[in-house]
Each structure stands twice: as C-alpha cells, then as structure tokens.
Amino acid sequence: MQPSEKLLLYNKAWVQDKLELDTTYFSDLAADQKPNFLWIGCSDSRVPANEITGTDPGEMFVHRNIANLVVPDDLNVLSVVQYAVEVLQVQHVIVCGHYECGGVKAAMSGKKLGLIDNWLSNISRAQAKHQAKLDQIPDPQARFDRMVELNVQEQILHLADTASVRNMWASHQIPSLHGWVFNLRTGLLNEVITLTPPGATQSPGPVLAQSRH
C-alpha cells in the first residue's frame, strides 16, 4: 500500500468517527464558516495549527508559508488577511513561528539556496535590523531562538501596517494581533507580542490559551 493510500483510508475512518458522534457534522460544516481566528503559521510539518490549539474545522482560518512571513508586497498573504479581517471579521490574528525553524536558520546562515533566497531575504532584513541585540547573545542556540521570536515580532508589525487591519481597527476595533512561538521541545505556545486596536480596553472575544516556557 502506498503512503498516499493510507491517508485516504484514514480519511474514511475519520469521517465515520465524526458521523458516529454527530450525524449532521458535515452538513453543518458545509453550511458556513465563522472562524474567530486567522492563523498565519510556518509550512513546517511539525506545527499543525488545529492540533496544537485544540480547535476544530471551522474555528480557524489558516495561512501557512515558509517562516510565517507577512510580506508587504505578497498578494497571497495580503489577500488572506483582507478576506479574514474584512469579510470574515475574525477577532484575532495569530502569527505563530516555531523554534528550530528551517527558514530562519537558512536566512541566518547566509548560504545561497536558490529561488527561496528571495523569500528568505525578508528574514535577513529583520536580522540586520536587530543584529546589535543578537550579537549580545553568546550562545548560538539562544541567538537562533531569539531570532525566531524577533521574526514573529516583525510580522506582527507588518500586519499592523496593512490597510485591511488599519481600516478594521478604525471602524470595528478588531482584530487583536498575537505573535506566538511554538516550542517543539515542550509542545507549548509562548507569547511574544500582542497588539490591540488603538483605544481598545481589552482584546475582543476569547483568546486561545497559551503557555510560556
């Protein structure tokens, strides 16, 4: 049996399990989506958004790319952000990076890898911005971890500067922006930065539980 065939068999078993618990599960799922969260995460196979947050299908709108970047001229991520915040009106946007990120590691190495270098240059610019702080961290692993956190921080700042977020902040006081890092060594989510709409007294709506180191 081919590995892909195993996935199809697992899908059939998953469908059966869901229907045994709720016969209307898929008809309800097909009716509409009203997610409370937009998740912008890394494409890394070790960071499954729904599984590590305990969310079900329909609760989280998801976009993934290498190193969880929000690039100001990337129409893909900007389209996702616009649809999520203006049409779906999600209450929270989460940018989630992870320690041991291959994209961040590759950017920090300075090695030429080909086409992907164009994408990783966005991380290299963030590194250059914070190089003085990074140089003060003698341990290579700690420096790598800190760059992962700083990368998430930079993406949150990029998000806050998008027209979609600025417009929704002015008109609806949503969404709140959350920068998290997933710790592969512990399984925990660590908060790096949170930005709320200007003038908001508190983050609107529920926020997924997160834990620190």
The one catalytic residue among 17, 22, 28, 46? 46
Parallel, antiparallel or unpaired: strands 189-195 and 176-182 = antiparallel
3-state secondary structure of 101: coil
CA 75 to centroid of chain Cα atoms: 17
Among candidate residues 63, 92, 98, 158, the one labeled active-site is 98
* Choice among 63, 92, 96, 101 that is catalytic: 101
Q: Tell me if residue 74 is catalytic.
A: no
pLDDT value of position 118: 96
pLDDT band at 201; cut points 50, 70, 90: low
**Is the pLDDT at 204 greater than 70, yes or no?**
no
Tens-digit pLDDT profile for residues 161-172: 999 999 999 999
The predicted-structure confidence for 51-66, as pLDDT tens digits, reads as follows 999 999 999 999 999 9
pLDDT in the model for residue 130? 97
* Active-site hit among 42, 63, 96, 145: 42
| Residue 15: φ, ψ to 5° | -60, -45
> Percent of the chain scored above 90 by pLDDT?
91
DSSP state of 186: T
pLDDT tens per residue across span 77-118 = 999 999 999 999 999 999 999 999 999 999 999 999 999 999
Determine whether 42 is an active site residue: yes
Contact yes or no for 113/106 (Cβ under 8 A): yes
Is 92 an active-site residue? no
Whether 44 is catalytic is yes
- Whether 70 shows a pLDDT value over 80: the answer reads yes
Active site residue 96: no
Interatomic CA distance for residues 136 and 200, integer angstroms: 36
Section 139-154 average pLDDT: 98
pTM over 0.75: yes
- 84 C-beta neighbours (distance < 10 Å), count: 23
